[in-house]
């Protein structure tokens, strides 16, 4: 009988000790990931190429405006040909919470460029203009995610 009392008392004591330990412990707070200065410098190095390509987009607009479909296709496959690779690299370097938005903006941009390219095959001026306008928005949305 005495053993049962000790077991019950021991169980209650262990419960109290565990409750005290859990309630007194402080949760570990992890800081959200941030960019180091070296990481920002590395990202900016590669971002400059993407930014330079964004600055060439008016050339594409001029070719679309002039309905020079051969030049439009050449520009998309030429100077903008390396854009996918550069944007993919930059996306991988961003913080995890920014990567999804960057991937989506980049994918939307490439979809728009492909639509412009398809519009050149049929000479569809309005489709090319509409997709160019949306491509610029997508490009700018991607660039907004790049840390300064």
Q: How confident is the model at residue 140 (pLDDT cuts 50, 70, 90)?
A: very high
pLDDT of res. 148: 82
Number of domains in the chain: 1
Q: Is residue 146 within 8 Å of residue 54, measured between CB atoms?
A: no
Alpha helices in the chain (DSSP H): 2-24, 37-55, 57-65, 69-77, 83-93, 96-122, 125-144
- CA distances for 7 relative to 15, 66, 76, angstroms: 12, 91, 79
CATH number, position 110? 1.20.120.290
In a domain, 5, yes or no: no
Question: Is 70's pLDDT higher than 60?
Answer: yes
- Please check whether residue 3 lies inside any domain of the structure: no
Tell me, yes or no, whether 22 lies in a domain. Answer: no
Tell me the mean pLDDT in the region 109-129.
Answer: 96
The 10s digit of each residue's pLDDT in 122-132 is 999 999 999 99
- Establish if 133 belongs to a structural domain: yes
Is position 2 within any domain? Answer: no
Domain presence at residue 4: no
- Please report whether residue 21 resides in a domain: no
Domain that holds residue 128: 34-144
3-class secondary structure, 33: coil
Q: Is residue 97 part of a domain?
A: yes
pLDDT classification of 10: cutoffs 50, 70, 90: low
User: Residue 42: which pLDDT band, with cuts at 50, 70 and 90?
Assistant: confident
Q: What is the pTM of this model?
A: 0.75
């Amino acid at each position: 009988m005495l053993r049962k009392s000790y077991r019950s008392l021991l169980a209650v004591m262990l419960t109290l000790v565990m409750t005290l330990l859990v309630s007194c412990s402080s949760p570990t707070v992890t800081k959200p990931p941030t960019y180091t200065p070296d990481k920002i410098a590395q990202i900016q190095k590669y971002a400059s190429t993407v930014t330079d390509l964004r600055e060439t987009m008016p050339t594409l607009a001029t070719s679309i405006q002039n309905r020079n479909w051969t030049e439009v296709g050449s520009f998309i496959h030429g100077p903008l040909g390396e854009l996918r690779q550069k944007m993919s690299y930059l996306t991988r370097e961003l913080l995890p919470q920014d990567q999804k938005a960057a991937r989506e903006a980049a994918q939307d941009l490439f979809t728009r460029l492909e639509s412009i390219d398809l519009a050149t095959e049929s000479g569809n001026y309005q489709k090319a203009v509409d997709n160019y306008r949306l491509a610029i928005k997508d490009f700018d949305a991607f660039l907004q995610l790049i840390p300064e």
